[in-house]
């Protein structure tokens, strides 16, 4: 599973329904009252027209008292609406109002001329309408309206610090919404449509980014790929109104899955069809999810290649290989980035900065999906990626492949010193993924990683286990050296893999006693024409 930062924070900096008001008329002095405007904005989502139709019902009231020099009145106002807005019109009681439109990168400015002057204490009602139209473009565009997914920014309008402003979003039946910012409350209407609504007094800063997903109408594309020595069946399921996603994702899987295999080195593990399906809100805050039970990858419609490759890497790195969550995420991200480089598609990596480090936890304490707050989740994803690269810096791709082969085959971490032939198998009962990965890494690559486990992985309660492990492994290596051509009993290696260090030390002490009379045993065995085991 992959989490990606939302674009809401960036959008919110660029967007905002700010009303600019200037008095027009005889106003040599300002008394400070101003023009107060209350606006109710309704966003009607119309997927069949690829647009959002916006209606803003407004009432402007002059709170500016006359001055001795003469009356003060307002003849209009200026306001900003979302960039790209079209079909802009203003009317009051059926009478069109004069408007001037100026389009900019961040907003469209609408200058509205009132058909009557607004004097002190008087009000003027009017209605602004405009359309936000989806003209197509990149999959990750911020504005998208279709019958599978809608995504658009919502602004509030009206004078700030004034009661009465509101925002409503009307979604067709079958759409399930998700809102960033806001907030917006949700109500199911009698016809099955959904209304999102909010009252606000701070219109200048209020912002919401609304996405909504309808049950997908998918167009499947079947692929048969050669992944290593295996034939892989892949089904790409794209929304029927987004064929480009299907083409892009199919092209990516065609080169990406073989690249992942070549880097990881394990056989293709999927028995049936691997399904890759376009998704949106069902993923919550995540950009992609792989379910090993259904053998299906869900990827957000706007996710990049690294996300899709990350989820594809989970085909190999999931609970079947190592049980701990952080291990799967670390190596799925590691191989996604390196596969992207191999096939020359744009990629990105997490940056473990001071802001993320402020939420640092031992990776063994990283909870299940949904258990942690967003800050901890963001830290954990970045930290796992960072840790994988630190491990890789001490080894290479080939040696990592020996680790994955050993894990996949169920090999014992500690093998007989003098044995030839097939490796001994048997995973110690109760051994956790983080313990097994550390043992396999150190035994298969010959490098030390215990310091990384101490810094990034274990919690305070688990730290003493690393200390005991280091002392016991030293004892084990000492006895192995004393044994020379003799092989230590398999029970010692099994208990060492089990991190049952008390038992291992007792068994090693017993082995040393036997080795103390090894020469006598050899002589006696020779006299009896026997070969010591």
| In the predicted structure, residue 64 carries a pLDDT above the cut 80 | yes
Rg, Å, the chain Cα set:
33
For residues 273 and 186, what is the distance between their CA atoms, to the nearest angstrom? 38
Phi/psi for 40 (5° steps) reads -110, 110
* Structure tokens, 219: 């167009």
List CB contacts of 293: < 8 A, sequence separation 6 or more: none
Q: What is the pLDDT of residue 285?
A: 65
Q: What is the pLDDT of residue 283?
A: 55
CA 224 to chain centre: 28
Q: State the pairing for strand pair 273-279/296-300.
A: parallel
Local structure of 161: helix, strand or coil: coil
| In the predicted structure, residue 14 carries a pLDDT above the cut 90 | no
| In the predicted structure, residue 132 carries a pLDDT above the cut 80 | yes
State the CB neighbour count (10 A cutoff) for residue 251.
Answer: 14
Local structure of 55: helix, strand or coil: strand
Annotate 115-156 with DSSP letters as a single string. Answer: EEEEEBT-EEEEEEEEEEE-----TT-S-EE-SSEEEEEEE-
Q: pLDDT tens across 145-177, in order?
A: 999 999 999 999 998 888 899 999 999 999 999
Q: What is the pLDDT of residue 24?
A: 44
Whether 402 and 444 have beta carbons less than 8 Å apart is answered as yes
In 3D space, the residue among 365, 267, 371, 272 whose CA is nearest the CA of residue 321 turns out to be: 267
Q: State the pairing for strand pair 73-81/19-20.
A: antiparallel
| Residue ranges of domains in the chain, CATH in brackets | 2-213 (2.60.40.1730), 218-349 (1.10.390.10), 397-520 (no CATH)
For residues 509 and 515, what is the distance between their CA atoms, to the nearest angstrom? 10
* Structure tokens, 329: 């995420």
Q: pLDDT tens across 407-449, in order?
A: 999 999 999 998 888 999 988 877 899 999 999 999 999 999 9
- The mean predicted confidence, pLDDT, of the chain is 90
pLDDT above 70 covers a percentage of the chain that reads 93
Evaluate if pTM is beyond 0.85.
no
List CB contacts of 529: < 8 A, sequence separation 6 or more: none
Sign of CA dihedral 70, 72, 75, 81: positive
Q: What is the pLDDT of residue 11?
A: 35
8-state DSSP, 236: E
Which range among 122-126, 214-218, 368-372 has the greatest average pLDDT?
Answer: 122-126
Residue 33 — pLDDT band, cuts 50, 70, 90? low
For residues 253 and 515, what is the distance between their CA atoms, to the nearest angstrom? 57
| In the predicted structure, residue 71 carries a pLDDT above the cut 70 | yes
* Structure tokens, 70: 């003469």
Q: What is the pLDDT of residue 368?
A: 86
| In the predicted structure, residue 268 carries a pLDDT above the cut 90 | yes
Q: What is the pLDDT of residue 523?
A: 87
Residue with the two structure tokens 């083409």? 247
């Amino acid at each position: 599973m992959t989490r990606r930062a939302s674009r809401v924070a960036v959008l919110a900096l660029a967007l905002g329904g700010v009303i600019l008001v200037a008095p027009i008329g005889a106003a040599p002095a300002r008394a400070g009252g101003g023009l107060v405007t209350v606006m109710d904005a309704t966003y009607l989502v119309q997927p069949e027209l690829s647009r959002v139709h916006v209606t803003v019902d407004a009432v402007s009231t002059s709170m500016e008292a006359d001055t001795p020099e003469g009356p003060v009145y307002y003849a209009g106002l200026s306001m900003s609406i979302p960039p790209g807005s079209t079909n802009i019109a203003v009317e009051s009681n059926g009478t069109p109002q004069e408007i001037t439109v100026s389009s900019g990168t961040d907003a469209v400015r609408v200058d509205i001329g009132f058909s009557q002057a607004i004097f002190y204490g008087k009000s003027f009602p009017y209605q602004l309408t405009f359309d936000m139209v989806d003209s197509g473009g990149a999959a990750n565009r911020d504005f998208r309206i279709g019958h599978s997914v809608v995504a658009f920014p919502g602004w509030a309008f009206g004078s700030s610090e004034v009661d009465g402003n509101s925002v409503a979003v009307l979604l067709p039946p079958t759409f399930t919404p998700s809102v960033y910012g806001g907030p917006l409350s949700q109500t199911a209407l009698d016809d099955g449509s959904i209304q999102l609504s909010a009252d606000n007094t701070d219109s200048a800063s209020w912002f919401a980014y609304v996405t909504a997903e309808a049950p997908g109408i998918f167009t499947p594309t079947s692929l048969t790929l050669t992944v290593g020595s295996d034939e892989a069946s892949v089904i790409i399921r794209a929304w029927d109104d987004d064929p480009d996603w299907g083409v892009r994702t199919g092209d990516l899987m065609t080169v990406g899955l073989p690249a992942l295999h070549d880097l990881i080195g394990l056989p293709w593990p999927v028995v049936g069809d691997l399904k890759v399906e376009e998704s949106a809100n069902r993923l919550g805050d995540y950009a992609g999810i792989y379910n090993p039970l259904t053998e299906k990858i869900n990827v957000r419609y706007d996710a990049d290649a690294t996300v899709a490759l990350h989820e594809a890497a989970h085909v190999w790195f999931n609970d079947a290989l190592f049980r701990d969550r952080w291990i799967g995420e670390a190596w799925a991200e590691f191989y996604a980035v390196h596969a992207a480089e191999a096939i020359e598609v744009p990629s990105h990596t997490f940056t473990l900065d001071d802001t993320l480090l402020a939420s640092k936890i031992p990776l063994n304490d990283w909870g299940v999906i949904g258990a942690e707050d967003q800050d901890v989740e963001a830290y954990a994803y970045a930290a796992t990626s960072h840790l994988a690269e630190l491990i890789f810096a001490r080894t290479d791709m080939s040696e990592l492949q020996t680790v994955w082969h050993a894990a996949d085959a169920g090999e014992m971490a500690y093998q007989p010193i003098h044995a030839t032939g097939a490796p001994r198998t048997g995973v110690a009962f109760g051994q956790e993924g983080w313990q097994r990965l550390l043992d396999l890494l150190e035994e298969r690559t010959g490098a030390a990683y215990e310091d990384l486990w101490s810094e990034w992985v274990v919690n305070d309660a688990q730290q003493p286990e690393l200390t005991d492990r280091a002392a016991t492994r030293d004892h084990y290596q000492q006895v192995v050296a004393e044994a020379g051509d003799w092989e230590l009993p398999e029970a010692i290696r099994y208990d060492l893999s089990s991190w049952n260090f008390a038992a291992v030390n007792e068994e090693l002490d017993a082995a040393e006693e036997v080795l103390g009379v090894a020469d006598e045993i050899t002589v006696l065995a020779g006299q009896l024409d026997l070969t010591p085991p």
